[in-house]
Amino acid sequence: MPAETHMEQEPLGREAILQLVKDRLGEILEIDPNTVNEGDSFADDLDADSLALIELVEAIEEEIAERSVDFRIDDEDLEDLKSVRDAVDYVFSRLS
């Protein structure tokens, strides 16, 4: 899909953000995204280390930058993102 098409898309809803997080986690952790649940802890349930979380943040920022100019996940907020739900809620609140 051409990049210019992304700019015309509707803002991401919460379900779309959840799917984005699950898909990117699947790629980064080399797991089936359908096995990722919203309540999963990055460390305890998904065995995601800090490098995987940084990759997730970069992937989310890249994807959302195509839809929302200057979207960024602040470094100081990373320590608060402990679960898939935390990440989805954070992104959704920043886009709303």
**Tokens (6 digits) for 77:** 């907020």
Catalytic, 49? Answer yes
Nearest Cα to Cα of residue 96 among 74, 71, 78, 66: 71
Catalytic residue among 49, 74, 77, 80: 49
The residues annotated as belonging to the active site are 49
